[in-house]
Amino acid sequence: METYHLTPEALAKAVREWRGDNLSSPAAARLLGLPPRTLEGIEQGRGFRYPKTLLLAMQAIKGHGNV
């Protein structure tokens, strides 16, 4: 099994880049199925228990043209 580690800072950067300027934080949280405060915490570098799952969800949403 592959070991996957992403620093909280790298995850925060990835989420901010994914969201960009055209998607609000509340809208992004809704798309990802997260509470807005959780997404805000991730974007502030507080980390997330399942970073790989979050990245996969962001890729899937972007791939379907929702963002």
Mean pLDDT of 7-31: 95
- Tell me the average pLDDT across 14-41: 96
Integer distance in angstroms from the first to the last C-alpha of the chain? Answer: 31
- pLDDT at residue 1 tops 50: no
Closest CA to 50 of 2, 5, 1: 5
Quickly tell me which residue has 């992403």 as its tokens: 6
Query: What is the CA 8 to chain-centroid distance, rounded?
Result: 11
How confident is the model over 48-58, as pLDDT tens digits? 999 999 999 99
- The pLDDT > 70 percentage for the chain reads 88
pLDDT tens for each residue of 30-44: 999 999 999 999 999
Looking at residue 45, what DSSP letter applies? T
Mean residue pLDDT of the chain comes to: 90
The contacts of residue 51 (CB under 8 Å, 6+ apart) are 4, 6, 11
